[in-house]
Amino acid sequence: MSANPIEPAATPPFLPFTRPTIDEATIAGVADVLRSGWITSGPNVKAFEAQLSARCGGRPVRAFNSGTCTMEIALRIAGVGAQPTDEVITTPLTWVSTANIVLDVGARPVFADIDPVTRNIDLDRVESAIGPNTRAIIPVDLTGLPVDRTRLHDIAGRHRLRVVEDAAQSFGSSWDGRAIGSFGDFVSFSFHANKNITTIEGGCLVLNDDAEAKLAEQYRLQGVVRSGHDGMDVERVGGKYNLTDVAARVGLGQLPRLAEFTERRRALARRYFDAFDADFLHDVDCRLPVADFVNSNWHMFQVILPEAHLARRSLQRADVMAALERRGIGTGVHYPALHLFSLYRRLGWKAGDFPHAEYAGRNTLTLPLFPTMTDADVDRVVEALQSVLRGA
C-alpha cells in the first residue's frame, strides 16, 4: 500500500549530544557478576586494572569510582597541599572538578588562559604563571585533543614540578605516536557515561611505580593496609573511592571496542568538517575545532558560536540550543569559564582575567557525536545549526 501523500513525514528521533554503546555480551556479563554474589571490588576490578595497565605500557594502574578522586589522590601522593601556600596551575576552561580537587587538598589553583585555537591551556602562560609556591600542573585534554606533551613535560622537568594529566576526555588519544597514559607522570582517565568508553561511573589513575600504587590503594579505601588473614592497620586518612565489580565488568566489555569507537568518532568528525559550509562559517565567524585526526580521540565535536553575529539578532547561545532542541537535536556546554563561578569569584578572580577562556565559555556549543550516529545524523545537525544561524 502506498503512503498517504498528505500524511506528514515522521518526526526523526531525538538525537542526544552523546549516548553510550553497550553491547549485549557486556549486559550478559554484568548479569553474571550480579548472579555471582561478588558485586563490589573483586576479580573483575583486578582484571580491568590489568588490561588498563597493558594499554598504558605496563605502568601501574588503579581503578576508582570516578575520574575526579583520581586527581585528588595524585595530588596527595605528590605531597601537594602539605603547605598552605602550595599552588597548582590549571586551565579555567574545564569541568569544575579540576580546580575543586586543588582546593580539596588544601592548595590554591592558579589559572592560565587557553590557546584560542586548541582551547587547551596555553603553555606559554603556564610557564609565566610558575612561581616559588608552584608544586604541580594539571593540564586538561579538552574534547580529547592532547595538550603538547613534549613541551609540557619539558616545562615541568625544568621547574621540578609534578604533572597530573586531566586526561578524562582523552582515553584512546595519543601524542607523537605514543598512547596517552603510556608515558609522563600521573595520568587520570574518566569512564563516566559520556566518555569514549564507560564503566557507567568510574575512572583510573596511571602511576609511576609500585610504591605510588600502594599509596593509591590506601587513599582509595580509608587508608587501610591489610596483612595475613586478619591483620589490618590504618596509616593515613583515605576515602571510599573503590570501583565495583559490576562497573568493572562494563569496562571489560568496552575496552576491546576502543579502537572501533575511536575510528568511528574520527569518521563522524570528518563528516562534520565536510558538511559545514566553509564560506558561511567564515562570513559569520563560527569556528570549528582543530582538525586533528592523528592524536585526538574526538571525544566531543564543539563549535564556537559567532557571538557578534548572534548579538546583532539579540540572540544568545541558549536560544540556539533551544532552537536545535525544537528540531530534535540535543547539545551541551563544555564548559563555562570556571573562575567566574561564585566560589572562585570569592577567591579573587573576576571577569576579564582570562579573556580567551571567557569567550569560549560563553560561546562553545557541543554537538552530537557518538559511535552509533550515522552520516545522515551529522548532516541533519549541520543543516539545522546553519539554518538557525542564518535566521530560519
How far is 49 from 376, CA to CA, in rounded Å? 38
Instruction: Report CA-CA distances (Å) from 210 to 45, 91, 153, 178, 226.
Output: 17, 30, 22, 22, 16
Please give the sequence-ordered ranges of beta strands (E in DSSP) within the chain, or none if there are none.
Answer: 61-64, 87-90, 108-111, 134-138, 162-166, 174-175, 178-179, 186-190, 203-206, 224-227, 231-234, 301-304, 364-367
Yes or no: say if 363 and 10 are a contact pair by the CB < 8 Å rule: no
C-alpha to C-alpha distance for 172 and 209, rounded to whole angstroms: 22
CA dist 187 and 165 (Å) reads 5
- Cα torsion 57, 63, 64, 68 to 10°: value is 10
Which residue carries 586551565 as its cell?
91
The gap between the terminal CA atoms of the chain, to the nearest Å, is: 35
Q: Return the SS3 of 30.
A: helix
**Residue 120 amino acid letter:** N
Residues with catalytic function: 195
Would you call 171 helix, strand, or coil by DSSP?
coil
Alpha-carbon distance values, 285 to 292, 304, 306, 312 (Å): 20, 9, 5, 13
Report the alpha-carbon distance of residue 14 to residue 206 in Å, rounded: 37
The neighbour count for residue 364, using CB atoms within 10 Å, is 25
